[in-house]
Structure 1
Amino acid sequence: MTAPEPALTKVKPVEAAHLLDVADTPLAVEGRPSCWLVGTHGGAGVTTLARTFAPFAEAGQVIPAANDPATVVLVAATHLEGLCSVHRAITQFRANQAGEAQLLGVILVDTAPPVKNRKLAKALSSKRSVIEGATNVWSIPYIPEWRAVETSALPEWSPHDEQEAEGKKKRTKVDATAAVPPAVAEIGNEVHTAAVDHFRQLHP
């Protein structure tokens, strides 16, 4: 996983109407999260992921620039509005419009089954490719079981959880309402590890 790129000064700034708010005072949080999840649009899935991944904190649609760490992972759904909004948010960071916050990457959340229309799928794939070329990207698959579970009842992943052997993961079907699916837990582990490594680079 590559380290976040420093903001580029020559990037065209994002118009004010499309900017995410940037906090000038620390956001309240319990403990010290490894990173902050910031949604780039309503319904991105930030609350769900913050509940699912224990080390991460939820910042809504606000960039926590005054917190330490101020490591941000943007969250967006994989429909066109989500992809466009997260692309603008990436540009906001690269154009130095995010205060002292630093972008670690993006989590894209599939909130519906895969698109079958080829023309529409191609348009979404093209936009997604642009995002993947700009920063780290992790993908959360569509999990239909979570639609029938209240957020407070969702299973939780923690770095301290004992992980099953890789072969067993592939053979065993996990009840997504009782435990975080292995593929999702793996993403949580990758993001957490990247965030911790990034923090250590900033504070050697």
Structure 2
Amino acid sequence: MLTAATGPTAPQGAGVPWPDYVLPVASPQPITGQGWWWLGVHGGAGVTTLGQAVPGGLDAGRAWPTAGEPQPVVFVARSSASGLKAVQNAARQWASQLVTGVELLGLVVVADAPGRRPRALRDLLSLVSGTVPRLWEIPWVEEWRLGEPPSAHLPKECAPLARDLTRLTRPA
């Protein structure tokens, strides 16, 4: 079963506040067939690790991947305040149509620390998750921090993420 969309699935355009910071736009080779772009909305978001843990995506290099046809994109951010605020900016950029040629699939939030998030960050994540179609959360994995291969220590949350992205990017 596919994770249901809980936020907007298309840019809203008029009325969306402009972001404080905009990510650059790149023109990479378009993805043909099945696959997606991981878009790290800030440095250290976890794109490289996620790419090893959930194969099928390509690193967009912290720039919007645009091409002739809409490119499937997944935001990646840490669960810190600065990471979630970077998501807000990227989501505003998408929603206000400052960038085109993107099919935003959702957001992957990678835990920035072990344990339960402070209430302020839980509240911010709740707010931010309403600006994207879907939210997937990856918990803290101590082995990843220690440099062990992500594929050797996959948290259970990676399975539904991989399943959803495969289904969302399956050619029609």
**TM-score, normalized by the shorter chain, greater than 0.5:** yes
Partner of 2:25: 22
Structure 1 residue corresponding to 2:18, chosen from 10, 13, 21: 13
| Local SS of the residue matching 2:157 | helix
Whether the 8 Å CA contact 2:34–2:166 is kept in 1: the answer is no
Contact 2:34–2:169, Cα closer than 8 Å, also in 1: no
Runs of 4+ in 1 over 3 A off after TM superposition: none
State how far apart, in whole Å, the 2-side matches of 1:114 and 1:83 are: 17
**Which residue identity does 1:104 align to in structure 2?**
L
- TM-score of the two chains, using structure 2 as the length reference: 0.85
- 1:169-180 correspondence to structure 2 within 5 Å: 176=153, 180=154
Question: How many angstroms does 1:181 deviate by?
Answer: 3.2
- Counterpart in the other structure of 2:120: 123
Local SS of the residue matching 1:138: strand
Change in Cα spacing, 1:55 to 1:69, as seen in structure 2 (3 Å) is farther
* 1:186 equivalent among 136, 155, 160: 160
RCO comparison, higher one (Cα < 8 Å, 6+): 2
Per-residue deviation, 1:115: 4.8
Q: Report what 1:141 is aligned to.
A: 139
Kindly provide the CA deviation profile for residues 18-67 of structure 1, in whole angstroms up to 9, marking residues without a partner as x: 101111x33487x7552110001000001111122211111120110116
Instruction: Give yes or no for contact 2:30–2:67 (8 Å, CA) kept in 1.
Output: no
Which residue matches 1:70?
71
Give TM-score scaled by structure 1 length: 0.73
Measured against aligned partners, the alpha-carbon deviations of 1:113-147 in whole angstroms (never above 9, x if no partner) come to 1257xxxx121111111112222110011110112
Residues 105 and 28 (structure 1 numbering): CA distance in 2 closer, same or farther, change over 3 Å?
A: closer
Residue 87 of structure 1 deviates from its aligned partner by: 1.1
| Structure 2 letter corresponding to 1:83 | L
Percent of matched pairs sharing the same residue: 30
Give the Cα–Cα distance (whole angstroms) in 1 for the partners of residues 9 and 135 of structure 2.
Answer: 13
Give how far 1:9 is off: 1.5
Q: Distance in 2 between matches of 1:28 and 1:194?
A: 16
Question: Using a 3 Å threshold, how does the CA distance of structure 1 residues 51 and 68 change in structure 2: closer, same or farther?
Answer: farther
Change (3 A) 1:93 1:191: same
* C-alpha distance after superposition, 1:53-112 (max 9, x if no partner): 211111120110116551110000000000000111011100001221121110000021
Cα distance between partner residues in 1 of 2:79 and 2:156: 21
Alpha-carbon RMSD across the aligned residues, in angstroms, is: 2.3
Please state whether the residue corresponding to 1:134 is helix, strand or coil: coil
Amino acid across the alignment from 2:111: D
For structure 2, list consecutive stretches of 5 or more residues without a partner in the other structure. none
